[in-house]
Structure 1
């Protein structure tokens, strides 16, 4: 929601950045601009090494840069960025699996949409093998507090991070983060049903930042608060 006058060596260009506008540029280039009006934005800085890793994970090797875009509309990228805002606002409650999953989705989208190369269909199966599925679930269950990264699980399965996320979703119908969240809530319900453990302790035992965080997530998935669910069970 602002205007920006960008100065080049021999000219200047004025642009209107409306809602859902994006701006892709090389941060190593000399840059000068006048900005008019207040605005909110999310900035992603991607190093060349990270871009290459993202491209490899997306099975698009060879992408070394992104096409320049100035004040272009991109609803998909804007909404992916918005999905990260709660994690940025409350980093203590942010689940590492969710953040990594979202940044992977953003990176994959960027190289596919702006990498300048056609997307090549993979000849690999879209699902995890039973062995990889069992191994991935076992690792995730052992780390329901989110202290394992998608990259680590994918590496144990000898798969790229991007492919692992897609294959896990194809196999289970859920992303790794959604699956872990469901398992954490299932564990919480077991504790609520079979013990008198205080809600605050249940929250910590199931990997939530605190009771408030636990209550919000539980209510969002189950439809009622943990206390109400325990009393009515």
Structure 2
């Protein structure tokens, strides 16, 4: 799905709505998004000199790499009570792990293309390479990378084309960026690291019970982590190392397990099953079921209830 918007500075009384990356949308002159499933491409540009804040809480979304298309941007990044200032030239890069809280002041104009990768995509790409799992990525914000710089120029032109872009080309571009990200900046996850960050059996049971409750209500990852006496970012990492999947992925799989039972042993409609299993709507249910099972729910029901 392609989302294109040209945004302008809003009046002082306008609602300050933040986008999925924590930017104030009404401060952006170019705001483009291209969703493909395993990764999402962005173009975020502000042409005027201004200071704004970006804040995103820890989540299990995956990883984000941003590449600057122009020079002159400065970013003050905060970590606890400390902060560091980083200057961005053309082809400068920064990498974010969504498992960690992120807060930064954006100083001056900027023009970035960004790619958000799911953890599943990174894990599968690493597996295809025959390497060990990736714990994260390390790179000092503002470091220049000529390869990413060239790929960023191609990505900017791709986003400008919008829906005219070839899906195959988009996929190849995402794989190229992900491959270079892993090869140059990936930190292999050692066996000792896995053992040190696993949930205890008590915390694992508590987390699973609360996640299943989340399917019916409004329990947040923050509340689950607090119940386990862990920070949100540590809980997300520990859950992933314990279960080999993120909390969100684990919950989706349990919802699909429940849906299979209802498909096989009830006459409920697909829309009723979608609602009963915690999906937003039938379309979301069908898309998720097809991705995880390999066939649409209606087809699966016909094949398994003869």
Task: Please report the TM-score for the alignment, with normalisation by the length of structure 2.
Answer: 0.44
The structure carrying a bigger helix percent of its residues is 1
Residue aligned with 2:211, SS: helix
Spell out, residue by residue over 1:96-145, the C-alpha distance to the aligned partner (whole angstroms, 9 max, x if none): xxxxxxxxxxxx979x8449xxxxxx9x9211111111100010011125
Match of 1:99 in 2: none
Q: For 1:46, which of 54, 59, 82 is the aligned residue?
A: 54
Name the CA distance, whole Å, in 2 between partners of 1:146 and 1:125: 32
RMSD: 3.7
**Judging changes above 3 Å, is the alpha-carbon distance between structure 1 residues 183 and 39 closer, same or farther for their aligned structure 2 residues?**
closer
TM-aligned CA deviation for residue 207 of structure 1: 1.1
TM-aligned CA deviation for residue 46 of structure 1: 2.1
Say whether the 8 Å CA contact 1:140–1:148 is kept in structure 2: yes
Spell out, residue by residue over 1:211-233, the C-alpha distance to the aligned partner (whole angstroms, 9 max, x if none): 11111111011010100001111
The structure carrying a bigger strand percent of its residues is 2
Name the CA distance, whole Å, in 1 between partners of 2:201 and 2:85: 37
Match of 2:150 in 1: none
Name the CA distance, whole Å, in 2 between partners of 1:184 and 1:219: 13
Match of 1:167 in 2: 238
Match of 1:23 in 2: none
Say whether the 8 Å CA contact 1:145–1:208 is kept in structure 2: no
Structure 2: which 5+ runs fail to align? 1-23, 33-42, 46-51, 60-78, 97-113, 119-135, 143-192
Structure 1: which 5+ runs fail to align? 1-26, 28-34, 55-59, 84-107, 116-121
Task: Please report the TM-score for the alignment, with normalisation by the length of structure 1.
Answer: 0.57
Number of residue pairs aligned between Structure 1 and Structure 2 = 159
Say whether the 8 Å CA contact 1:66–1:114 is kept in structure 2: no
Q: For 1:225, which of 296, 301, 306 is the aligned residue?
A: 296
